[in-house]
Structure 1
Protein backbone atom coordinates (compact mmCIF):
# COMPACT_ATOMS: atom_id res chain seq x y z
CA UNK A 1 0.00 0.00 0.00
CA UNK A 2 1.25 3.47 -0.85
CA UNK A 3 0.23 5.63 2.10
CA UNK A 4 -0.87 9.20 1.40
CA UNK A 5 -2.11 11.93 3.69
CA UNK A 6 -5.70 11.24 2.66
CA UNK A 7 -5.41 7.71 4.10
CA UNK A 8 -4.25 9.04 7.47
CA UNK A 9 -6.96 11.72 7.44
CA UNK A 10 -9.51 8.97 6.82
CA UNK A 11 -8.17 7.08 9.85
CA UNK A 12 -8.48 10.26 11.94
CA UNK A 13 -12.13 10.57 10.90
CA UNK A 14 -12.80 6.94 11.77
CA UNK A 15 -11.26 7.43 15.20
CA UNK A 16 -13.35 10.56 15.81
CA UNK A 17 -16.45 8.62 14.75
CA UNK A 18 -15.44 5.83 17.19
CA UNK A 19 -15.11 3.27 14.38
CA UNK A 20 -11.52 2.45 15.39
CA UNK A 21 -9.49 2.89 18.58
CA UNK A 22 -5.97 3.88 19.60
CA UNK A 23 -4.74 0.29 19.40
CA UNK A 24 -5.86 0.08 15.76
CA UNK A 25 -3.83 3.18 14.88
CA UNK A 26 -0.81 1.87 16.77
CA UNK A 27 -0.92 -1.50 14.98
CA UNK A 28 -1.53 0.14 11.59
CA UNK A 29 1.50 2.40 12.06
CA UNK A 30 3.74 -0.37 13.36
CA UNK A 31 2.85 -2.58 10.40
CA UNK A 32 3.43 0.28 7.95
CA UNK A 33 6.87 1.04 9.42
CA UNK A 34 7.98 -2.62 9.50
CA UNK A 35 6.40 -3.79 6.24
CA UNK A 36 8.29 -4.07 2.96
CA UNK A 37 4.99 -3.68 1.11
CA UNK A 38 3.90 -0.34 2.59
CA UNK A 39 5.54 2.87 1.46
CA UNK A 40 5.02 6.63 1.46
CA UNK A 41 6.70 9.78 0.24
CA UNK A 42 9.80 10.02 2.46
CA UNK A 43 10.02 13.74 1.66
CA UNK A 44 6.65 14.27 3.37
CA UNK A 45 7.85 14.60 6.95
CA UNK A 46 4.31 14.93 8.30
CA UNK A 47 3.34 11.46 7.10
CA UNK A 48 6.49 9.96 8.62
CA UNK A 49 6.08 11.87 11.90
CA UNK A 50 2.42 10.86 12.20
CA UNK A 51 3.15 7.18 11.68
CA UNK A 52 6.03 7.15 14.17
CA UNK A 53 3.96 9.10 16.73
CA UNK A 54 1.02 6.70 16.43
CA UNK A 55 3.40 3.76 16.65
CA UNK A 56 4.45 4.70 20.20
CA UNK A 57 2.12 7.07 22.04
CA UNK A 58 3.96 6.49 25.34
CA UNK A 59 6.98 8.52 24.20
CA UNK A 60 5.05 10.84 21.89
CA UNK A 61 1.47 12.09 22.31
CA UNK A 62 -1.56 10.27 23.76
CA UNK A 63 -3.91 9.04 21.08
CA UNK A 64 -7.14 10.76 22.12
CA UNK A 65 -9.83 12.82 20.42
CA UNK A 66 -8.14 16.16 21.05
CA UNK A 67 -4.82 15.03 19.62
CA UNK A 68 -6.43 13.22 16.70
CA UNK A 69 -8.06 16.55 15.73
CA UNK A 70 -4.61 18.14 15.91
CA UNK A 71 -3.03 15.38 13.80
CA UNK A 72 -5.82 15.78 11.26
CA UNK A 73 -5.27 19.55 11.18
CA UNK A 74 -1.54 19.02 10.63
CA UNK A 75 -2.20 16.57 7.80
CA UNK A 76 -4.63 18.98 6.14
CA UNK A 77 -2.90 22.32 6.72
CA UNK A 78 0.74 21.65 7.81
CA UNK A 79 -0.05 23.55 11.04
CA UNK A 80 1.43 21.62 13.98
CA UNK A 81 -0.01 22.43 17.42
CA UNK A 82 0.60 19.09 19.13
CA UNK A 83 3.44 20.26 21.37
CA UNK A 84 1.54 23.42 22.30
CA UNK A 85 -1.39 21.35 23.59
CA UNK A 86 0.68 18.58 25.20
CA UNK A 87 4.07 19.81 26.43
CA UNK A 88 4.14 22.37 29.22
CA UNK A 89 7.79 23.20 28.55
CA UNK A 90 7.01 24.25 24.98
CA UNK A 91 5.50 27.44 26.48
CA UNK A 92 8.54 28.49 28.53
CA UNK A 93 10.25 30.60 25.86
CA UNK A 94 6.94 32.31 25.01
CA UNK A 95 6.43 33.10 28.70
CA UNK A 96 9.89 34.62 28.96
CA UNK A 97 9.32 36.70 25.82
CA UNK A 98 6.04 38.12 27.17
CA UNK A 99 7.63 38.88 30.56
CA UNK A 100 10.52 40.70 28.90
CA UNK A 101 8.16 42.64 26.62
CA UNK A 102 6.09 43.95 29.54
CA UNK A 103 8.79 44.40 32.19
CA UNK A 104 7.83 41.48 34.41
CA UNK A 105 10.05 39.04 36.22
CA UNK A 106 9.51 35.52 34.90
CA UNK A 107 7.76 33.72 37.74
CA UNK A 108 6.36 30.45 36.38
CA UNK A 109 3.87 28.33 38.26
CA UNK A 110 3.92 24.59 38.78
CA UNK A 111 1.86 22.88 36.09
CA UNK A 112 0.05 20.92 38.81
CA UNK A 113 -1.18 24.09 40.53
CA UNK A 114 -4.90 24.83 40.46
CA UNK A 115 -6.00 28.10 38.90
CA UNK A 116 -9.46 29.65 38.84
CA UNK A 117 -11.36 29.89 35.55
CA UNK A 118 -14.86 30.98 34.57
CA UNK A 119 -17.21 28.43 33.01
CA UNK A 120 -17.02 29.78 29.47
CA UNK A 121 -13.59 30.45 28.00
CA UNK A 122 -14.82 30.47 24.41
CA UNK A 123 -15.79 34.14 24.17
CA UNK A 124 -13.78 36.67 22.15
CA UNK A 125 -12.03 38.35 25.09
CA UNK A 126 -9.99 36.59 27.79
CA UNK A 127 -8.85 38.25 31.02
CA UNK A 128 -6.36 37.07 33.61
CA UNK A 129 -4.85 38.36 36.84
CA UNK A 130 -2.35 37.08 39.39
CA UNK A 131 -2.60 37.65 43.14
CA UNK A 132 0.18 37.01 45.61
CA UNK A 133 1.13 33.35 45.66
CA UNK A 134 0.33 31.48 48.85
CA UNK A 135 1.19 27.82 49.24
CA UNK A 136 -1.68 25.59 48.18
CA UNK A 137 -3.93 28.48 47.12
CA UNK A 138 -5.08 29.66 43.69
CA UNK A 139 -3.17 32.73 42.54
CA UNK A 140 -4.24 32.99 38.88
CA UNK A 141 -7.84 33.84 37.89
CA UNK A 142 -8.91 33.75 34.23
CA UNK A 143 -12.30 34.58 32.75
CA UNK A 144 -14.11 35.60 29.59
CA UNK A 145 -17.15 37.82 29.33
CA UNK A 146 -18.36 39.96 32.22
CA UNK A 147 -16.59 39.58 35.56
CA UNK A 148 -18.72 38.46 38.51
CA UNK A 149 -18.23 38.61 42.28
CA UNK A 150 -20.33 35.46 42.63
CA UNK A 151 -18.62 32.83 44.79
CA UNK A 152 -19.21 30.21 42.09
CA UNK A 153 -17.90 32.32 39.19
CA UNK A 154 -14.45 30.71 39.27
CA UNK A 155 -13.92 26.95 39.19
CA UNK A 156 -10.55 25.32 40.00
CA UNK A 157 -8.69 23.56 37.23
CA UNK A 158 -5.20 22.11 37.09
CA UNK A 159 -3.01 24.41 34.99
CA UNK A 160 -1.82 21.47 32.89
CA UNK A 161 -5.44 20.60 32.04
CA UNK A 162 -6.06 24.21 30.99
CA UNK A 163 -3.29 23.71 28.43
CA UNK A 164 -5.49 21.10 26.74
CA UNK A 165 -8.33 23.62 26.47
CA UNK A 166 -6.67 26.98 25.83
CA UNK A 167 -2.91 26.55 25.35
CA UNK A 168 -2.46 30.22 24.43
CA UNK A 169 -3.25 31.14 28.05
CA UNK A 170 -0.24 29.20 29.34
CA UNK A 171 2.03 31.73 27.61
CA UNK A 172 0.92 34.35 30.17
CA UNK A 173 1.23 32.28 33.34
CA UNK A 174 4.88 33.22 33.80
CA UNK A 175 3.93 36.83 34.60
CA UNK A 176 4.80 37.96 38.10
CA UNK A 177 2.38 38.63 40.95
CA UNK A 178 0.30 41.75 40.39
CA UNK A 179 0.16 41.46 36.60
CA UNK A 180 -2.98 41.32 34.49
CA UNK A 181 -3.57 40.53 30.85
CA UNK A 182 -6.33 40.96 28.29
CA UNK A 183 -6.17 39.10 24.97
CA UNK A 184 -8.63 38.47 22.15
CA UNK A 185 -9.01 35.71 19.60
CA UNK A 186 -8.04 38.14 16.80
CA UNK A 187 -4.61 38.85 18.30
CA UNK A 188 -5.10 41.90 20.55
CA UNK A 189 -2.87 41.78 23.64
CA UNK A 190 -2.52 44.05 26.65
CA UNK A 191 -0.48 43.28 29.77
CA UNK A 192 -0.05 45.62 32.75
CA UNK A 193 0.91 45.74 36.42
CA UNK A 194 -1.87 46.41 38.95
CA UNK A 195 -0.46 47.13 42.40
CA UNK A 196 -3.89 46.67 44.03
CA UNK A 197 -3.67 42.93 43.35
CA UNK A 198 -0.82 42.63 45.83
CA UNK A 199 -2.95 44.10 48.61
CA UNK A 200 -6.02 41.93 48.14
Structure 2
Protein backbone atom coordinates (compact mmCIF):
# COMPACT_ATOMS: atom_id res chain seq x y z
CA UNK A 1 0.00 0.00 0.00
CA UNK A 2 1.42 3.39 -0.94
CA UNK A 3 1.79 6.27 1.52
CA UNK A 4 -1.21 8.18 0.17
CA UNK A 5 -3.55 5.21 0.52
CA UNK A 6 -2.35 4.42 4.04
CA UNK A 7 -3.20 7.88 5.43
CA UNK A 8 -6.70 8.88 6.43
CA UNK A 9 -8.55 11.50 4.44
CA UNK A 10 -8.14 14.03 7.24
CA UNK A 11 -4.38 13.41 7.33
CA UNK A 12 -4.18 13.85 3.56
CA UNK A 13 -6.16 17.09 3.78
CA UNK A 14 -3.88 18.39 6.54
CA UNK A 15 -0.83 17.46 4.47
CA UNK A 16 -2.24 19.34 1.46
CA UNK A 17 -2.69 22.48 3.58
CA UNK A 18 0.84 22.15 4.95
CA UNK A 19 2.27 21.58 1.46
CA UNK A 20 0.99 24.99 0.37
CA UNK A 21 1.46 26.77 3.71
CA UNK A 22 -2.27 27.39 4.12
CA UNK A 23 -4.51 27.16 7.15
CA UNK A 24 -6.77 24.14 7.37
CA UNK A 25 -10.48 24.96 7.22
CA UNK A 26 -12.85 22.03 7.72
CA UNK A 27 -15.00 21.52 4.63
CA UNK A 28 -18.75 21.98 4.57
CA UNK A 29 -20.94 18.91 4.10
CA UNK A 30 -22.08 20.12 0.67
CA UNK A 31 -20.23 21.16 -2.49
CA UNK A 32 -21.40 22.53 -5.84
CA UNK A 33 -20.35 20.10 -8.57
CA UNK A 34 -20.85 20.48 -12.31
CA UNK A 35 -22.01 16.90 -12.69
CA UNK A 36 -22.42 17.22 -16.46
CA UNK A 37 -18.73 18.08 -16.79
CA UNK A 38 -17.42 14.92 -15.11
CA UNK A 39 -14.87 12.97 -17.13
CA UNK A 40 -13.24 16.04 -18.68
CA UNK A 41 -9.87 17.55 -17.83
CA UNK A 42 -8.54 19.49 -16.10
CA UNK A 43 -10.47 19.58 -12.81
CA UNK A 44 -10.99 23.03 -11.29
CA UNK A 45 -11.97 23.86 -7.73
CA UNK A 46 -12.75 27.21 -6.14
CA UNK A 47 -13.56 27.74 -2.47
CA UNK A 48 -15.45 30.92 -1.67
CA UNK A 49 -16.26 32.38 1.74
CA UNK A 50 -19.66 31.13 2.87
CA UNK A 51 -22.39 33.70 2.47
CA UNK A 52 -24.47 34.24 5.59
CA UNK A 53 -26.78 31.25 5.94
CA UNK A 54 -25.00 29.43 3.11
CA UNK A 55 -23.77 25.85 3.23
CA UNK A 56 -21.68 25.52 0.04
CA UNK A 57 -18.16 26.92 -0.24
CA UNK A 58 -16.62 24.68 -2.90
CA UNK A 59 -17.44 24.95 -6.60
CA UNK A 60 -15.90 22.17 -8.70
CA UNK A 61 -16.03 21.54 -12.44
CA UNK A 62 -14.13 19.61 -15.08
CA UNK A 63 -13.03 20.97 -18.45
CA UNK A 64 -14.59 24.18 -19.72
CA UNK A 65 -16.59 26.42 -17.40
CA UNK A 66 -20.12 27.43 -18.28
CA UNK A 67 -22.13 30.33 -16.91
CA UNK A 68 -25.38 28.40 -17.41
CA UNK A 69 -27.59 28.73 -14.32
CA UNK A 70 -27.80 24.94 -13.92
CA UNK A 71 -24.06 24.27 -14.44
CA UNK A 72 -23.48 23.39 -10.77
CA UNK A 73 -25.60 21.05 -8.69
CA UNK A 74 -25.42 20.70 -4.88
CA UNK A 75 -23.88 17.42 -3.76
CA UNK A 76 -23.11 15.96 -0.35
CA UNK A 77 -19.39 15.39 0.19
CA UNK A 78 -20.05 11.66 0.75
CA UNK A 79 -21.29 11.41 -2.84
CA UNK A 80 -18.31 13.39 -4.09
CA UNK A 81 -16.21 10.44 -2.94
CA UNK A 82 -18.09 8.31 -5.48
CA UNK A 83 -18.14 10.81 -8.35
CA UNK A 84 -14.81 12.65 -8.12
CA UNK A 85 -12.68 11.20 -5.29
CA UNK A 86 -9.48 12.85 -6.51
CA UNK A 87 -10.61 16.25 -5.15
CA UNK A 88 -11.23 15.11 -1.56
CA UNK A 89 -7.66 15.88 -0.45
CA UNK A 90 -8.16 19.57 -1.38
CA UNK A 91 -11.39 20.22 0.53
CA UNK A 92 -9.76 21.49 3.77
CA UNK A 93 -7.96 24.30 1.93
CA UNK A 94 -9.27 27.67 3.12
CA UNK A 95 -11.76 30.00 1.42
CA UNK A 96 -10.12 32.05 -1.31
CA UNK A 97 -8.21 29.06 -2.69
CA UNK A 98 -8.35 27.64 -6.20
CA UNK A 99 -6.86 24.45 -7.58
CA UNK A 100 -6.33 22.80 -10.94
CA UNK A 101 -5.42 19.12 -11.34
CA UNK A 102 -5.33 16.70 -14.26
CA UNK A 103 -4.73 13.05 -15.14
CA UNK A 104 -1.09 13.72 -15.99
CA UNK A 105 -0.18 14.67 -12.41
CA UNK A 106 -0.39 18.43 -12.88
CA UNK A 107 -1.39 20.29 -9.71
CA UNK A 108 -1.59 23.99 -8.96
CA UNK A 109 -3.03 25.56 -5.79
CA UNK A 110 -3.18 29.30 -5.14
CA UNK A 111 -4.98 31.97 -3.16
CA UNK A 112 -7.30 33.97 -5.38
CA UNK A 113 -6.84 37.73 -5.42
TM (normalized to structure 2)?
0.86
Q: Does 1:114 align with 2:23?
A: no
Question: How far did residue 92 of structure 1 move?
Answer: 0.9
Shift of residue 120, structure 1, vs aligned partner: 2.2
Look up the SS of the partner of 1:187 in the other structure: coil
In the alignment of these two chains, the number of paired residues is: 109
Rg larger in structure: 1
CA distance, structure 1, for counterparts of residue 86 and residue 63 of structure 2? 17
Where structure 1 has 5 or more consecutive residues not aligned to the other structure, the ranges are: 1-77, 196-200
Residue 171 (structure 1) aligned with residue 101 (structure 2): no
Given candidates 31, 44, 47, the residue that maps to 1:130 is: 47
Cα-to-partner distance string for 1:80-131 (whole Å, 9 max, x where unaligned): xxx89xxxx9211111111111121011214xx2211112221121000000
> Going by fraction, where is helix more abundant, 1 or 2?
1
Give me the whole-angstrom Cα distance separating, in 2, the residues matched to 1:124 and 1:152. Answer: 20
> Could you tell me which of 67, 83, 90 is aligned with 2:8?
90
Would you tell me which structure has more strand in proportion to its own residues?
Answer: 2
1:1-200 aligned within 5 A: 90-110=8-28, 113-118=29-34, 119-134=36-51, 135-195=53-113
Counterpart CA distance in 1 for 2:17 and 2:23 is 6
Higher RCO (CA 8 Å, separation ≥ 6 residues): 2
Q: CA RMSD in A?
A: 2.1
**C-alpha distance after superposition, 1:34-55 (max 9, x if no partner):** xxxxxxxxxxxxxxxxxxxxxx
Partners of 1:172 and 1:121 lie apart in 2 by 17
* TM value normalised by structure 1: 0.50
